[in-house]
Amino acid sequence: MIERVAILSTGDELTTGRITDTNASWIADQLFGLGLDVVAVLTVGDYPDRLAWAWQRALELADVVISTGGIGPTADDLTNETVARVLGVPLALDRDSADRIRQLFAALGRDMPENNLKQALLPQGAVVVPNPMGTAPGYRIEARGRHLVVLPGVPREMKVMMEETVLPWLRTLRGGDVYLSRIFQTFGLTESALDEMVAGAVDPSEARVSFRASFPEISLRIVVHGAPETAAARLETLAARIRARIGPYVFGEGPVTLEEVVGGLLAERGLTLALAESVTGGLVGHRVTNAPGSSAYLRGGVVAYGNGAKRELLGVRQETLDAHGAVSEEAATEMAAGARRVFGTDLGLATTGIAGPDGATAEKPAGTLWVAVATASGTTARRYQLWGTRDWMKLLASQIALDWLRRHALGLPLADSQLFRPRSR
Amino acid sequence: MIERVAILSTGDELTTGRITDTNASWIADQLFGLGLDVVAVLTVGDYPDRLAWAWQRALELADVVISTGGIGPTADDLTNETVARVLGVPLALDRDSADRIRQLFAALGRDMPENNLKQALLPQGAVVVPNPMGTAPGYRIEARGRHLVVLPGVPREMKVMMEETVLPWLRTLRGGDVYLSRIFQTFGLTESALDEMVAGAVDPSEARVSFRASFPEISLRIVVHGAPETAAARLETLAARIRARIGPYVFGEGPVTLEEVVGGLLAERGLTLALAESVTGGLVGHRVTNAPGSSAYLRGGVVAYGNGAKRELLGVRQETLDAHGAVSEEAATEMAAGARRVFGTDLGLATTGIAGPDGATAEKPAGTLWVAVATASGTTARRYQLWGTRDWMKLLASQIALDWLRRHALGLPLADSQLFRPRSR
């Protein structure tokens, strides 16, 4: 029965502070969902002795060791030889992996540098964990009653490999009682407000509740533990209680993005959308088009960064700009209505604001945001006061805009959020 | 002489994935700047045995151990008693710290819960590191030829204490040599191709070279070590050698983004830009507007997702769409020229392609990308074959487009990249 896991994060970029280790927290979060106990995270740079030290310590501590990093093609990628040395087994060329690397290069019409084959030299006994996103194969290997899992350090490769191969395998290994979890993706409440609203809904003996903030969203997870059927029934009961308390703030359950939810709602209702973006600079369009199939409802948009574009492409009147400025209720309203008219859609969505640091005034400080939605029955605009860095403000503005579309499609009122309080003019 | 540091991050919130450990990377970055070597980062939850294990291992590895977390007033704050136990010294009430905690509560007009005094129980021999931002005092203590530094886990308290007290003290302890580094941000080469091109340019005795892939960019860092003046001169010599080998692929040195580089080049040359985005859906506009001051050169863009938008807003001819389709050299060319004309700019940039999974055909598979740039002297378009998931393709397409602008502004040829091979029609 496996219980204890150690996570090993390797790479000089971690020990010299060049990047923050987001892999370890993501993996820890996934393991928490399986009821596994992360005993330690060990992080070392690309040195043979330090890697060997970390592997030895990790194997002393845990039933399962999950390592990220150090399996690329370059000289400082030392994980495979370290694992082989620590376990006392030779490295052997994994022919399937070698073939796959050659094929990937051939498919791209590229010559394969010889050092790429190094990635297919795996410790004897390794069972490949396929890497659909890159050339370096991962693997798992059992030795001395321990399970070792080796994955690349590139987050997007690591995550797919965890989700597709490692987590299902761990779930099987674990057996017996199950840990079932449900994630509620929320937007519009702070973590402490969420905590207060949910408090008392779940007794600690029924489930573990945890929050995870990933700006600007906060997810809430409940994990129940028990025999498969009891656990599943309890999960549904608790989920219903959570929904009753925070429903309108929950844009999705499970691993879904806000843009996918919005896209699904628009597609279901047969609504088409056009965008008029100023402060978000294309970010709303980018997010909407991240959802596959978005061409079914998105006709297009105008990134109206200059006043000329607002006027000529969206029909915003010069007198509006003169009298109220480009960051105003009037301009936002004309932009949304203009996008709807120009693209001939059911909905027009506009953002205009001041991301800073330039352009701020006492009356319209950095963080001023107007969002407007135009429909057949008229246009609604609202002002928000955001805060933070330029990229935070753009992201939060795009989130508010997308959440408007969700609430509009569902007939929900606009959120009087604690994250961003709508201001009167 | 101190040389080796271990960082100890403690708290269940780290081992259950509720938060990402940004403290360790921030501290590591500061220490790197002092030329100190972070041998390992050890992360454990709030358990007496795990904390003791981590402290013992850290003291075996390093001259200095810096710990964050576990010094608050609650029952799961175990760092002080762990340090006392590991060093075999008693805990003693630090009267100054206790007085300060009482005063802080008095100043707020609040009763002090008794457990708050627990924070002033420090291991015998501790030298207080003042905490101007909170109630928990930090401290350092010397034992067995090692230096232990204990800080709170709250980032804003920890950072001030590092900056005001710990880093100046470490600088004094350290003296002597410096470590200097230079980062080259590249696009258009794989990591192994970069490795081969740079191989031999830097002798391991001169500097340490490392790569970090952050799709779709790869950065290369060189670190030199020595007496301040020798090290600075050597860094410049090596940087010149690196530039000579991979210059056109280096879009920036130091912490700069491609969109900032492109923006700087456009602003310097007084060039204005308009965008016509299909496959990138607004991502190019989003990236361009991430750079503060981008309104100086970006007039705007059209997200022309539907054919109607391509036709009506950009003037792409219906016969072009009928004869060649929206993903074609002809459409890309008319889109770029249209954006330039409609917005009245010096440059028009267009992307059109198939991000998939819908819309792919045998002739135009998923990953087909056309990029076009229109200038006063005409329009150039080129086809690429990308691969990967939808979001990868969008990101890579936006990167290729931005890199075109950079190369155009610098008079460099378009990259015949190994990441994406331009294909003939």
A186 and A162 both lie in a single domain: no
Q: Give, in degrees to the nearest 5, the angle at Cα A53 between B12 and A127.
A: 85
Q: Is A103 on the interface with B (CB under 8 A)?
A: no
B154 and B196 both lie in a single domain: no
A166 and A190 both lie in a single domain: no
Cβ pair B215, B228 in contact under 8 A: no
CATH number at residue B59: 3.40.980.10
**Residues 216 through 235 of chain B touching chain A, CB cutoff 8 Å:** 221, 223
**Interface probe, candidates B192, B275, B279, B299, chain A, greatest A C-beta count within 10 A:** B192
**Rounded to a whole number, what is the distance in Å from the CA of A293 to chain B's nearest CA?**
7
List per-residue pLDDT tens for chain A, 425 residues long.
789 999 999 999 999 888 899 999 999 999 988 889 999 999 999 999 999 999 999 999 999 999 999 999 888 899 999 999 999 999 999 999 999 999 888 887 778 888 888 999 999 999 999 999 888 999 999 999 999 999 999 999 999 999 999 999 998 888 777 788 899 999 998 777 888 888 888 888 888 887 777 778 988 988 898 888 899 999 999 999 999 999 999 999 988 999 999 999 999 999 999 999 999 999 999 999 999 999 999 999 999 988 999 999 999 999 999 999 999 999 999 999 999 999 999 999 999 999 877 888 888 988 999 999 999 999 999 999 887 788 889 999 999 999 999 999 999 988 765 555 544 43
Read off the tokens for B158: 């920890």
Domain range for B107 is: 4-174
A351 and A220 both lie in a single domain: no
A248 and A333 both lie in a single domain: no
pLDDT for res A373: 97
A122 and A72 both lie in a single domain: yes
pLDDT for res B422: 45
A156 and A197 both lie in a single domain: no
Q: Is B43 on the interface with A (CB under 8 A)?
A: yes
Nearest to A215, CA basis, from A386, A23, A24 = A386
pLDDT band at B174 (very low <50, low <70, confident <90, very high): confident
**Rounded to a whole number, what is the distance in Å from the CA of B32 to chain A's nearest CA?**
6
* Phi–psi pair at A229, nearest 5 degrees: -75, -45
pLDDT for res A425: 38
Check: complex ipTM more than 0.85: no
**Rounded to a whole number, what is the distance in Å from the CA of A310 to chain B's nearest CA?**
9
CATH number at residue B331: 3.90.950.20
Please list every residue in chain B whose beta carbon sits closer than 8 Å to the beta carbon of residue A357: 292
Q: Which of A174, A195, A224 is the last residue of a domain?
A: A174
Q: Which of A139, A174, A209 is the last residue of a domain?
A: A174
Q: Label residue A270 left, alpha or beta by phi (over 0 means left) and psi (-120 to 50 means alpha).
A: left
pLDDT at residue B263 is higher than 90: yes
Write the residue in B50, B195, B343 that is nearest to A74 by C-beta.
B195
A327 and A191 both lie in a single domain: no
Q: How many domains does chain B have?
A: 3
Q: Which of B231, B253, B275 is the last residue of a domain?
A: B253
**Residues 62 through 91 of chain A touching chain B, CB cutoff 8 Å:** 72-76
pLDDT for res B32: 84
Q: Is A298 on the interface with B (CB under 8 A)?
A: yes
The size of chain A, in residues, is 425
**Residues 3 through 42 of chain A touching chain B, CB cutoff 8 Å:** 9, 11-22, 24-32, 38-42
B170 and B182 both lie in a single domain: no
B159 and B183 both lie in a single domain: no
CATH number at residue A213: 3.30.70.2860
Q: Which residue has the higher pLDDT, B294 or A218?
A: B294
B35-47: average pLDDT: 94
Question: What is the per-residue pLDDT across B222-233, written as a single tens digit (0 to 9) for each?
Answer: 888 888 889 999
B80 and B188 both lie in a single domain: no
**Rounded to a whole number, what is the distance in Å from the CA of B94 to chain A's nearest CA?**
31
Write the residue in B38, B313, B391 that is nearest to A16 by C-beta.
B38
Read off the tokens for B303: 């997200």
Write the residue in A54, A74, A154 that is nearest to B40 by C-beta.
A54
Beta strand residue intervals within B258-376, DSSP E: 273-277, 298-303, 347-353, 368-375
Burial class (CB in 10 A: 0-12, 13-18, 19+), B29: middle
> Could you give the angle at which helices A307-314 and B329-343 cross, rounded to 10 degrees?
110
Q: Is the dihedral of CA B416, B421, B424, B425 positive or negative?
A: negative
CA–CA separation, A350 vs A331, rounded Å? 9
B83 and B138 both lie in a single domain: yes
Write the residue in A31, A61, A282 that is nearest to B289 by C-beta.
A282
Cβ pair A151, A187 in contact under 8 A: no
Nearest to B330, CA basis, from B365, B359, B370 = B370
